[in-house]
Structure formats: C-alpha cells, structure tokens
Amino acid sequence: MKKIAKISCIGLCLLCPLVLITVFATNWGKQSNVSCVGSSGVKPFVELISQNYSKQSLDITVEAGGSGFGIDELVRDHCNIGTTSINPHQLLKNNDEAYNAWKQKRIKTITIGWEAICLVYKLPSSLSLQAQKNFEVSITKKNVKKLFSTFSGFKEDDEINWLDFIPENTQKNFNENDKFILENNNIIPYVRSGGNTTSGTAMAFCRETHFNDFNFDTLPIHQRQAFEAGQYGHDIEIYQTDEANSRSWDMFCKNNIPGSMLYLSSGFVETNMKLIKDYGYKIAKYDGVEYNLQTAKNHEYKWFRPINCSFSLANEKIKKFLQDTLDNWTVNDELFTKNGAFLVSKTEIKSMYLENQEWLSDAEIEEREGQTVYGAVPEL
C-alpha cells in the first residue's frame, strides 16, 4: 500500500463518468442505474459521452453542485457515487458527525487522474505596448503568501502590488510609467463565494500548490477562514462568484476588469482556450513554468488537484462495477488530455483499492497506516 498516499483531486470528475458509462454498457446492459453527484465539471462531460450509449437504455444521472455537495449527498445515501476534485478529509476533519458517518458507511475514495489549477488574468490598463507584449506573472514560493493575502481580501503589513508577481528579468521591459502603474495597483481577485466548503477548485487553489516549505495552514487564521468558509476581507477589492467554473468565468468575462484574476481548472481552461486568448487574457506561470498540456502532464507545472470518486463498500453493485472497471482499465488517455485532465497509470489505479484482495475504506486505511490516505500521488 506504499503507493497509496495523499493526493490532489482533478481528473476523476471527468474519468469517473466515462468509466461508469463504459462498464455499464458492456457488463450491466439494461440494468444500469447509477447516480453521480458532485463537481460541476462532471455534468457536461458525462452528458456528452452518454450520448454514445443512449441506444443501450443506460440510466445514468449526473448532478452538479460542487465537491462538498457530492460528499454530503453520498453520506446521506442520496447518490451512488460522489465525484470530487478535493481530498474529502479536508471537508470532514472538522465535522465529527460527518466523519463518523463516512467511517460507518465504509466510504472508499479512488483517484483516477488529475488536472491543473490555472490563474487567468487581464493586464492592468494604460501599460506601454512593450510592457503588454512582454508582461508575465509567475507564482513562486516567495510570493504565494502575498497571492493568498490578496485573494483572502486581507492585506497584511506589507504592501502588495502587481510587481510582487512579475519576475525581475521581465520588469526590464517596463518604463517608469509602467512601473508606477504596477506599484500602485493590486490584483483584483475573483473568488468562490462558498470557499472551500463548496468548491473543489477553491480548495485546490489554496491547498495544492506543491511548493516546498509552504503550508497553507501557516497562514493567519483570518486568511484561512476566508478560503475555508468564504469569510473574505474588505481590505482589497474582491468579487465573489458561484462555485462552478463556468459561472465564475461568465462573471469574470462579463466584467472584463483590467488587473483582474481568476482561478480555474485546466479542464475548463483547455475547453475554452480559444476564448481566453481571443479576450487577450493570459495564464500565470508556476515557478517560471508556463502552463500547457505537456508541462502539466510531465509535472513540471505542479499546481494540480486529483479527480476522485467516492462510494460505499457496502454497495456491492457499485463495488463490482468499479472493480470490473479497474481490472479492465482501457480508458483512452488522449480523450482526457485534450480536455485538460490526465490519467494515473493502471498500476497506480490498482494499488488504490485492494490489499491482498481485500477492499479497504478510507478510514480503515487511515487507522492501519496512521495517516489520511486517498488515492495515489503522481510522481513529482
């Protein structure tokens, strides 16, 4: 079980639906009846894929509402599978009642893939053409705390401005007026109104940066609460959006405010890349590495989250379906890649769900190994 470890939540929202449809079509025939609830990134993808199997009378329902909603619905037995893009433990650890229900129902989480977290931004206005052409933002372990201070809405003692996020070698392209503008303006952040409690994208944004020597839990408590419960400050101009990437993007695009920034999943970014470029928006770099499908797949761009599906081991029907799926893993990686998500290997998949042919729930693994365990971490 050494391969089993803490993980980010990304590709599962895309992968789980595809797997469900494929397995039910081949093994369950007309008896298929599965409900998936969770991340809003799941719904359109499943609807698209399910059209290929409409003639086989498959009864697959998919409901969005956020990762937190999916976890809650699963614990309440209102769905068969909860699709999430976060580590469920992050939402359950401070709620004894919910965690006990999770443990009692023997909930098992499997990670199928991952996707990146991207920061899309619009340049501040009135910059010179030279500055606009060479403008770039890079998030590093040196400035990530200032980024979270900005997105929390709470400004600390140090002043924060655009220059904090622009590499020094890029600033040589700025004239004095450019520098004055950047020094006197802050990023205008767009955040999810419910914070981490509802949005897997919000959770991954603040907890899955993978910078060495940085821990989100070391931030001031008021900043952590801003992300965890949507209790944002008012020191910085901030815009709150709905949980779904699509709704956040719609508001961001409609407002089209110079100097604004929004976090999105790579699945959404890849699907809408042409529109992002046509609007003239840019995507921030991660420690100097530009986001694209190759750098994300190679884990050079390391800001990513896992794609997870959770289900109860007491549900033999779903358990059999998932085991059949995992034992006969044939999902096409290219389908996920072009949609901004990446599959874990077949070997990693199998390492997640059995130990000596015994299924282990999340809580049982935690008790045996003394750590919270969900899925497999891609090699970094």
Span 199-242, pLDDT tens digits: 888 988 999 999 988 999 999 999 999 998 899 999 999 999 99
Task: Give yes or no: residues 59 and 134 share one domain.
Answer: no
Question: What global pTM score does this model have?
Answer: 0.80
Q: Domain of residue 206: give its range.
A: 117-297
Give a yes or no: residue 1 inside a domain.
no
- For residues 212 and 57, the model is more confident at 212
Q: Find the angle CA(340)-CA(338)-CA(14) to the nearest 5 degrees.
A: 55
Give a yes or no: residue 375 inside a domain.
no
pLDDT over threshold 50, residue 181: yes
Please provide residue 135's backbone torsions phi and psi, each rounded to the nearest 5 degrees.
-65, 135
Number of independent structural domains in the chain? 2
Q: Exposure of 64 by Cβ count < 10 A (0-12 exposed, 13-18 middle, 19+ buried)?
A: buried
Task: Give yes or no: residues 359 and 245 share one domain.
Answer: no
Q: 173: helix, coil or strand?
A: coil
Q: Which residues contact 329 (CB under 8 A, 6 or more apart)?
A: 346, 349, 350
Query: Quick count: other Cβ atoms within 10 Å of Cβ 243?
Result: 25
Task: Give yes or no: residues 152 and 280 share one domain.
Answer: yes
Domain boundary pick from 276, 297, 318: 297
The pLDDT score that the predictor gives to residue 370 is 55
Domain boundary pick from 262, 282, 297: 297
pLDDT over threshold 60, residue 93: yes
Q: How far apart are CA 295 and CA 276, in angstroms?
A: 19
Which CATH number belongs to the domain containing residue 137 in this structure? 3.40.190.10
Q: 281: helix, coil or strand?
A: coil
The pLDDT score that the predictor gives to residue 252 is 97
Task: Give yes or no: residues 274 and 222 share one domain.
Answer: yes
Specify the length of the chain in residues. Answer: 380
Give a yes or no: residue 140 inside a domain.
yes
Give a yes or no: residue 7 inside a domain.
no
Intra-chain end-to-end CA distance of the chain, in Å: 18
Give a yes or no: residue 250 inside a domain.
yes
Largest CA distance in the chain: 69
Give a yes or no: residue 3 inside a domain.
no
Task: Give yes or no: residues 21 and 70 share one domain.
Answer: yes
Give a yes or no: residue 285 inside a domain.
yes
Q: What residues are paired with 289 via a beta bridge?
A: 286
Give a yes or no: residue 339 inside a domain.
yes
Task: Give yes or no: residues 289 and 315 share one domain.
Answer: no
The pLDDT score that the predictor gives to residue 355 is 56
What is the pLDDT averaged over residues 185-190? 95
Tell me the pLDDT band of 21, cut-offs 50, 70 and 90. very low
Q: Please, what sign has the CA dihedral across residues 18, 62, 57, 53?
A: negative
Domain boundary pick from 265, 297, 329: 297
What is the pLDDT averaged over residues 87-93? 76
| Pair 8, 204: CB distance under 8 Å | yes
